[in-house]
Chains A and B, each alone.
Chain A
């Protein structure tokens, strides 16, 4: 069965420091991978997605992610974190099912805290 693991439940970084959030997936075929961000009391906003092609994907708000098939990983990075980046981050894979359902399987999330 498909699954997504985010090993870090909670991460604290200083403002201006670099950030890397880890995501590992389990999926037999070529995965479709996503990173979403959720601020308190709000829905999920898409940061970036990988379907095919270039394995380094650029997203909104200065985020990028790199797909590494050999490591089954899709880690999210940002060179310099801003206080407004404090939120919960979810990695997701599009699950396989009978037909093209598009349903997403999410990791349990990583909460990012930014220190001034």
Chain B
């Protein structure tokens, strides 16, 4: 079974802090993704990576950056957290080929005070 593990289920940080969200997958997937989920908006893609050290902006990259130094690990960084970044953050991974679905982690509920 595919396992996508996010480092924290709940996180509370203060405005202006630098925040790191970590995601690890164990299925040797090439692709990894970070989404945020807000009520009524579905999931919106922040960044994705299709290979080590490669990244592409998604639909809402402002205020975020990412790092992928190893194939299994994809980090989301909030450079200077703001209250409008309070949300549920979901990590996902998938193979590059084969038309298989993305597999999701359990999510991190992040509150910025």
Note whether A and B form a binding pair: no
